[in-house]
Amino acid sequence: MNTKLTLRMDNDLIESAKEHSAKTGKSVSRFVSDLFEIIKNE
C-alpha cells in the first residue's frame, strides 16, 4: 500500500533532490523511499 507523506525541507535541499532525480531518472519519491528502506534494514 502506498501512502502520501509530506516532508518539510530547506529549499536548497529540495532543489538538489530534484536535480538528482533528473540526472538519475528516479523520482524524488522513489529516492526518499529508497533511503527509508536503507534505514529500515539497519
For 1-42, write each residue's pLDDT tens digit: 889 999 999 999 999 999 999 999 999 999 999 999 999 988
Widest pairwise Cα distance in the chain: 30
Q: What is the pTM of this model?
A: 0.74
CB count in 10 Å sphere of residue 2: 6
* Cell representation of residue 23: 540526472
To the nearest 10°, the Cα dihedral for 7, 11, 17, 21?
100
What's the pLDDT score for residue 8? 95
CA distances from 2 to 5, 13, 20 (A): 9, 24, 23
